[in-house]
Structure formats: C-alpha cells, structure tokens
Amino acid sequence: MKPTKDDTHAIVELLDVLLREGAVIQADVVVTVADIPLIGISLRATIAGMTTMTEYGMFEQWDTTHRRRTSADERTKPPSERR
C-alpha cells in the first residue's frame, strides 16, 4: 500500500500534528507558538464531515505531481515488478 495525504483522515491527522507538534522554539525573539489544542479538537470534528482533503483545493497540485511520479516509476519497472 502507499501512504496518502489527500483523504479526510490524512487532513485530520495533519491538523492534529501541526497544531501540537513540530519544533518548538524557546527564544526572546519568538512571539508565539501554537497553543491551541482545543481548536484542534473542534477542527477534527469539522474536517470529519468533509469528503476529501481536496475540497480545499490545497493538495490537488501535490496529488497530481505525486501520481505522475508514481506512474512514471511504474513505467520504468520491468513488467514482472509492476502491480
């Protein structure tokens, strides 16, 4: 199987990850970092109602590029290795 980035579950996970994780910087010149876990929860509920991540139009380009690359990879494999 291949990992996905463009389904509803992936976007729910991404929001969860981005609002809670990633490097946190402790420095005087840093004004803020995300501190919004409660919003993360309501976002998950909102996004769960969406059909796909691409409703936001944010990952269509990524998806197109990814699929193009994947099919190019498939074409370069010998027939015995193709799925």
Partner 1 sequence: MSKHSTDAAARSEKPNDGQEVTDGRYLYCLVDPTAAEGAEITARGVEDAPVYVVRERGVAAIVHDCERTYGTEPPDTDLLTQRVLRHQQVVDAASEVFGTPLPMRFNTVFEGGNAGVTGWIRDQYDRIRGGLCSFAGTREYRISLLWDPTSFEDGAEDRDGKLRKIQQRQRQAGTGKAFLLEKQYDKRLRELKSERRTELTAALKRTVEPTARELQEQESNVSPSETPDPADREQIARVAVLADETDEAELGSRLDRLVERDGVSVRFTGPWPPYTFAPDLG
Other CB atoms within 10 Å distance of the CB of residue 12: 19
Selected binder of partner 1 within 36, 68, 71, 82 (CB under 8 A): 36
Does 10 bind partner 1 (CB under 8 A)? Our answer is: yes
Selected binder of partner 1 within 52, 59, 63, 76 (CB under 8 A): 59
Which residue lies nearer to partner 1 by CB, 1 or 79? 1
CA gap 6, 55 in Å, rounded = 10
Does 74 bind partner 1 (CB under 8 A)? Our answer is: no
Does 21 bind partner 1 (CB under 8 A)? Our answer is: yes
Work out the angle between the directed axes of helices 37-48 and 8-20 (0-180°, nearest 10): 170
The letter for the amino acid at 48 is: A
Does 63 bind partner 1 (CB under 8 A)? Our answer is: no
Q: Are 20 and 36 spatial neighbours (Cβ–Cβ below 8 Å)?
A: no
Q: What are phi and psi of 25, to 5 degrees?
A: -105, 130
Q: Which residues lie near partner 1 (CB under 8 A)?
A: 1-5, 8-36, 39, 41-48, 53, 56, 58-59, 62
